[in-house]
Amino acid sequence: MSEAAPAVAATDGDRGFLATLADVFIAPGDAFRAIAARPRFVAPLLLAVGIGLAFSAVWVTKADAVEFMKTQMEESGAINQFQPYQRERVIEAQAKFFPVLAWVGPLVFAPLGYAALAVVLLFAYRFFYAAEATFAQSLAVVAWSVAAFGLVLNPLILIVMALTGRWSVDPQSVLHASAAALLDKGTASRALYAVAGSLDLFSFWLIALLSMGYGAVIRKPAATAAWPIVALWAVYVAGKGALAAIH
């Protein structure tokens, strides 16, 4: 019996990339146990980056950079920092950086963000749970989770943009799957609208994936492993609301 357990773990850890990806969707518990047993993060990380780059490749060719930057500056209140005669010139100057940001975001900032998230959560589980987790396990859970997340979310956003013809808007506002859909953007406070926009089904799904992943790593139920993830997400949402209130 003692020799059978390692054999099963080794078999689970040898699953192929496509089989593991499919299981993240249909049997995440099994998938993350295999990932925890043999943490490979390069392929899912490349997939996550590729999905982001593919999204940018389509979005950049369809969006009007000037219109997008104008809308973003108006909604954030940043445009009010300039005199009326300066605003058009400022918007046009900002629009020149739109393609650069659209490519640099998924290529540079996203991978750095995934690595930072893996480090923060690894510290949380080691400190609060005394878990013997490794950075490879932590990054593998993050990479597989965000890859599955992007594989669903990004195509849906592009489909909705294509159907509505609204390409020059914030992609995060396209899918009305959050509590913000219940508010009137024109009358609700910016802070409340920002917080409500973060209470969406896709974020909850990502939290669930991460919780199951780290649960497999630390050998605890997903509900037990969820606390550091939920706490970090709550800090992010609160910060988002605070920034919106300031502007």
Q: Which residue has the higher pLDDT, 82 or 229?
A: 229
Distance CA 188, CA 99 (A): 31
Residue 161 pLDDT > 90: yes
Q: Which of 189, 181, 195 is nearest to 240 (CA)?
A: 195
Q: Which of 66, 145, 88 is nearest to 113 (CA)?
A: 145
pLDDT given at position 79 = 79
pTM confidence score:
0.89
Q: Mean per-residue pLDDT for 63-91?
A: 85
Residue 167 pLDDT > 90: yes
Residue 233 pLDDT > 60: yes
Residue 4 pLDDT > 50: no
pLDDT given at position 72 = 84
**pLDDT grade for 1, boundaries at 50, 70 and 90:** very low
In whole angstroms, what separates CA 33 from the centre of its chain?
22
**pLDDT grade for 13, boundaries at 50, 70 and 90:** very low
**112 three-class SS:** helix
Average per-residue pLDDT in the chain?
90
Write the DSSP symbol of residue 148.
H
pLDDT given at position 14 = 61
- Supply the DSSP string of the chain, one letter for each residue: -TTHHHHHHHHHHT--HHHHHHHHHH-HHHHHHHHHHS---HHHHHHHHHHHHHHHHHHHHHS-HHHHHHHHHHHHTGGGGS-HHHHHHHHHHHHTTHHHHHHHIIIIIHHHHHHHHHHHHHHHHHHHH-----HHHHHHHHHHHHHHHHHHHHHHHHHHHHHHT--SS-GGGTS--BGGGGS-TTTS-HHHHHHHHH-BHHHHHHHHHHHHHHHHHHTS-HHHHHHHHHHHHHHHHHHHHHHHHH-
